[in-house]
Structures are given as structure tokens and as C-alpha cells.
Amino acid sequence: MENRYDAVVIGAGLGGLTAAAELARRKLRILVIEQHSRPGGAATAFRRGKFMYEAGLHMTATRGRDPELRELFRESGISDKLHFVPAPEFYCIHGHDFSFVFGNDIPDTIRRLKIQFPEESDAIDTYFHKIFSMSDTALQINQSRGLRHIFQMLAAPVLYRDTLKAMFANVGDFLDRTFRNERLKILLLANIGYYGDDPYQLSLLFFAIAQTGYYRQGGHYIRGGSHQLADTLADYITRKGGKIMTGVQVSKILVKDNKASGVEFYEKNRGKKQTKQIDVPYIIANAAIPHVLNELLEENTARRERKKIAKLEIAPSIMSVYIETDKPLSELGNAFYSTCFYDSRPFDLHGMADLHRTDYDQRPFILCDYSQIDAALAPEGKGYAVLSLFDYYADWAGLSPEAYRSKKAAAVTTQMERLYRKLPQMRGHVLRTEAATARTMERYLQTPQGSAYGFSQKPRQALLFRPGARSTVKNLYYASAWTLPGGGFGGAISGGKICADTILKDLGIR
Ligand SMILES: Cc1cc2nc3c(=O)[nH]c(=O)nc-3n(C[C@H](O)[C@H](O)[C@H](O)COP(=O)(O)OP(=O)(O)OC[C@H]3O[C@@H](n4cnc5c(N)ncnc54)[C@H](O)[C@@H]3O)c2cc1C
């Protein structure tokens, strides 16, 4: 087949679309192949009658302000066309016997934390000072260039010791060293659901960078649904001469002499028998790295990489219950956009991972009430919210379709009963619920174990330890939550940009 494209991107999630859009902006001809019927991957919302069901985005600190992405976001229209609605607060936590609203005004939040935990007053200052300073130093080193960058890297062991140590440390130990009060530790980690389920397996430096983004910029939702971010990037790629094919599955990456040379694919509605091939000089996998290595490459390729990747731990999935109500939840007793419920039983930080992995009637959950903001997801006078909690593929694997359906229905009933106990006024006002599990994520995103964030952000798997954009197969690149810097909207978008920059560098384009 003729060589019409400079690169093919496997998957139209945010990482793939960002890489494609950036390369298209730099005049490369790009083909994006997506197996689902629309672009977006986990950045998606879908219509149900008059409601728009947000399937993923709860909040993001990314709004196209990142200097590295400013040009792409401006040219593609993301900065102008999309409306990033600020969440009124970062989160509210309902603990076993306490609650606290972590507001967007950080000095005020610190003041209220000190009132609630006066004995920890100095430690609270230390916490925020260290988190901000680790994050600022890491970003400063990352953004420096040339001689300055080399100097900063060399001087890091002396000048930036805390930041360097944080690369190897975990959040749980850091909180244990900083505070004595278990409630306070849990309160500061209430949104751990954005990163992973275990504080002692969560990179301190990664947490500091991600959390600082929220502390400083607040969380935002994309008015009308997160799919618009993907659609805007997809439109831009097309305007720049690229092509997006949906409903098309890539079944193989073609490799000659350890160099990727093309892909084999088929239209899903026609079936596997009618595969086609396309030759392209560059291949970008937005698809999950384990899927690429185990299913798209021949067994005898990338042996060392395969072994290394097989040892990495995968982050858990998320179960979501989408909830329509006949009134906004603010009229049914709910006062917050994002509420983290940790109130099933008392526990300390060491018990947090177990609690997330326990039975459905005990697991902490987050309620995201989109009707608290101008989210434009529910029709006038109605409400839409999503209840989410960690979910584990092993709990669903091997079930027959019938057993799966009945287990899922039972899990939804359990979660709704728990919610009614928190917000009794909601009872009788729910119009409809629908749910997605780890198994749903695995099916729609083709991501192993339905993982929401790719490889888990353990210290030895985060940041510089995470797979980069280059694979060991020449001309095969990665751009997704599975690469540096990691999961989340911001992470996948940055991963896409890093991938595009790496290819441009390899092509000698500045
Ligand atoms: C329920 C849920 C809630 C979340 N909430 C938030 C949030 O509030 N804030 C936040 O920042 N992040 C959130 N995230 C995380 C964030 O959405 C993801 O980390 C990020 O969107 C992943 O992007 P990605 O580019 O890595 O790929 P994905 O979104 O996983 O997309 C990969 C794409 O590749 C396609 N694909 C795979 N294999 C093939 C193949 N062989 N051929 C063709 N196509 C293929 C898939 O169909 C998919 O579209 C959430 C995730 C989930 C699941």
C-alpha cells in the first residue's frame, strides 16, 4: 500500500490525539486508528435521552495553560472553544466521625485545618511548604534547558536533596513522618482515588506535583462533557490534513529487522477476515503498553522490554454509577461538587489500601455532583451525579454474562443504599442509574484489568522510572497514561506532547 502517512497512531485517547495533533501542527501527515466508534478513550461522555452521561472526568487541573502546550491548545481551539468550569471546592471529606471542606482558597484551608488540628499547626505548615517546594523544584528542573539543565541535574544531590529523595519515597511514610494525627493524614489524602489506592505505594514526588496542580489552580470540568476535548483535537488533526478512522481495530504492528514498518487492521463491523495493511515510517501506540507488547507485536520482538514491562504493577480500575435525578442534588440535601465518603469504619493510614479493596459495602466512594456547577449535562431542573470507587478486574473475571449482570446490579444497589443513607432526601428522586465496572473499562478502552491510570504510580514506577516515549523497537513510540508522566487527563496529554517532541527530535525537526 502506498505510503501516504508519516505516522499512524493506534488509539484516539487523549495521549494519542495530543501526539497526533502536535505532529499535524508541525506538518506531518497523521492517521489515527481507533477501535471504538468515537475518539476520546476514557475522555468521553454519552447521551442517554435528554441527559449527557459523563463517563470519566471528575476534575482536571489542566486547562491549556501549560506553556509547552499553549500553542497547540490555542491553534486547535481548546483554549477558546471549551469552557473549563471551576469546581467550587477541591473536595469535601466525610470521615467516620469528622468532616472537612478542602477549599480552593489554600491560605483559608490551612487556617481552618489549624483550628481543627491545633496540635499539628507547625506540621501543617511543613506539609504545604514541602509539597510546594518539591513540586516547584521538579518542574523547574524539567523546564530548564541546555547548560542550565545539565547544571541543575548535576547539582541536584546537593541543592535539591529533598526533591531527589521524594522520587524514591512514598506519600504514606511522608505523612507518618510529618503528622501524628491519623484523621489529618486521611483528610489530606482523601482524593487518593485520583492516583492509586495505597498511600504507601504512591510516589511522593508524583503526588506532590499532581496535588500542587489542584492546590494552586483548582479542579475544572469541561462544560457539556469531556468528549469535547477529544473532539476538538480530532477536528484539528483533520483540518491539518490528517485522518481519524473509528471502528477500526489494529491487530498487528509490522516489524522488519527490529524496525516498525506498518500496521495490520480491520474494520470491526466487517470482521477479522478482511484485514488490511498500511506501511508507515512511524508508529505511535496510544493503546496500553501491555496490549501492544502482548497482542500487537510478534512474540519474538522486544523480548527484553516485554520482560521488564511484565514486572510493572498496574493501577486499579474505577467503578462508576451514573445517576439521573428529577431535581438537582443541591435540592436533595447535597452541598458539594466532590464529596469523598470514608465513613464505613474507623481506620488509620495503614488501613487505607485494605479499605479500598474490601467489600463493596465498605469501600470509600466519591460522589461527583455535576449539578453543583454549570456542567450542562442534565436538562433544566434535573440532576446528574456519578458515584465512583476503586474497582478490581479480578472481582469480575471469569463470570458468565448472567452472573456478571447480577453481581453488577447487586453492587449498584449496595452503593445506592449507602448513598441514600448519606442523603436520605434523594430516595424516591432517582430517575435512572447505569454502571460501568473494571470489565466495562477493559472492553471499551482495551486496557488491561480496566486500569484507569496505566502502570501504578509506585515510587519505582513513577516519573523518570516510568516507560518513556521510545520503545525498544525502532520507530515505535508510546503516548498514553502508561508512559511518563502518567495517568489522568493532564498526564495523558503531557505524555502525548512528550512523544511528539521525541519523534520531532529523532527526525531532526526543531
Ligand atoms: C472512570 C474514570 C474516571 C476518571 N476520572 C478522571 C478525572 O476525573 N480526572 C483525570 O484527570 N483523569 C481521570 N481519569 C483518567 C484519565 O481519563 C485517563 O488516564 C486518560 O484519559 C487516559 O488516556 P490515554 O490517552 O492513556 O488512553 P485511553 O483513554 O485509555 O485511550 C486509549 C484508546 O486506544 C484505543 N485502542 C486500544 N487498543 C487499540 C487497538 N488495538 N486498535 C485501535 N484502537 C485501540 C482504545 O479504544 C482507546 O480509545 C479517569 C479514568 C477513568 C477510567
Asked if 323 and 384 touch (Cβ cutoff 8 Å), the reply is yes
Instruction: Tell me if 287 CB under 6 Å of ligand 1.
Output: yes
Q: Could you identify the atom of ligand 1 that is nearest to the CA of residue 444?
A: 47
Whole-number Å distance between alpha carbons of 281 and 279 = 7
Q: Looking at residue 1, what is its pLDDT?
A: 45
User: Is residue 481 lining ligand 1, measured as CB closer than 6 Å?
Assistant: yes
Between the CA of 201 and the centroid of ligand 1 the distance, in Å, is 22
| b/e map 18-43, b = 16+ CB within 10 Å | bbbbbbbbbebbbbbbbbbebbbbbb
Q: How far apart are CA 278 and CA 389, in angstroms?
A: 41
The pLDDT of residue 329 is: 97
Domains and CATH numbers, the chain: 7-43+62-83+225-312+454-506 (3.50.50.60), 107-216 (1.10.405), 317-391+397-436 (no CATH)
Q: Which residues contact 334 (CB under 8 A, 6 or more apart)?
A: 367, 369, 372, 385, 423, 426
Closest CA to 499 of 451, 456, 467, 458: 467
Point out the residues of the chain with pLDDT beneath 70. Answer: 1-3, 64-65, 147, 149, 152
Nearest atom in ligand 1 to the alpha carbon of residue 58 is: 8
**Residues in CB range of 222: below 8 A, 6 or more apart:** 57, 60, 82, 83, 84, 85, 228, 229
CB 253 within 8 A of CB 296: yes
List 46's β-bridge partners, or say none. 53
Q: 337-358, pLDDT tens digit by residue?
A: 999 999 888 889 999 999 999 9
186 lines ligand 1 (CB under 6 A): no
pLDDT of residue 65: 65
Q: Is 226 in the pocket of ligand 1 (CB under 6 A)?
A: no
Provide CB contacts within 8 A for 268, sequence distance 6+: 35, 247, 248, 249
C-alpha cell belonging to residue 28? 506531518
Q: Verify whether ligand 1 is closer than 6 Å to residue 36 (CB atom).
A: yes
Q: How far is CA 429 from CA 329, 366, 373, 409, 415, in A?
A: 9, 20, 19, 19, 16
Substitution candidate for ligand 1 out of 59, 453, 477, 489 with most atoms within 8 A of CB = 489
> Which residue from 219, 196, 131 is spatially nearest to 489, judged by alpha carbons?
219
3-state secondary structure of 197: coil
Among residues 493, 505, 502, 463, which one has the least CA distance to residue 16?
A: 493
Q: Which helix (H) or strand (E) is 139 found in, with range?
A: helix 121-143
Can you state the angle between helices 489-506 and 14-25, rounded to 10 degrees?
40
Q: Which residues contact residue 164 at a Cβ distance below 8 angstroms, ignoring those fewer than 6 apart?
A: 156, 157
Q: Which atom of ligand 1 sits closest to the CA of residue 226?
A: 17
Give the number of the atom of ligand 1 that is nearest the alpha carbon of residue 13: 31
Say which residues have a Cβ less than 8 Å from residue 27's Cβ, sequence separation at least 6.
240
Q: Does the beta carbon of 292 sit less than 6 angstroms from any atom of ligand 1?
A: no
The alpha carbon of 112 and the centre of ligand 1 are apart by a number of angstroms equal to: 36
The reported pLDDT for the residue numbered 471 is 97
Q: Please state the pTM of the whole predicted model.
A: 0.96
Cα separation values, 271 from 10, 267, 276, Å = 18, 6, 11
Return the pLDDT at 3. Answer: 57
What pLDDT is attached to residue 277? 96
> What's the rounded Cα separation, in Å, for the pair 258 and 272?
25
β-sheet with 7-10: strand ranges across = 243-246, 30-34, 7-10, 282-285, 476-478
Overall residue count recorded for the chain in this entry = 510
Nearest 10 degrees: CA dihedral of 472, 492, 356, 129? Answer: 110
| DSSP E strand boundaries for 117-158 | none
Establish whether residue 213 lines the binding site of ligand 1, counting it when its CB lies within 6 angstroms of any ligand atom.
Answer: no
Report which of 38, 36, 85 is spatially closest to residue 368, judged by C-alpha positions: 85
Atom number, ligand 1, closest to the C-alpha of residue 452:
53
Q: Which of 445, 498, 499 is the best mutation target for the ligand 1 pocket, counting ligand atoms within 8 Å of the beta carbon and taking the most?
A: 445
The tens digit of pLDDT for each residue in 51-109 reads 999 999 999 998 766 778 889 999 999 989 999 999 999 999 999 889 999 999 999 99
Instruction: Give residues with Cβ within 8 angstroms of 267, minimum separation 6.
Output: 247, 248, 249, 274
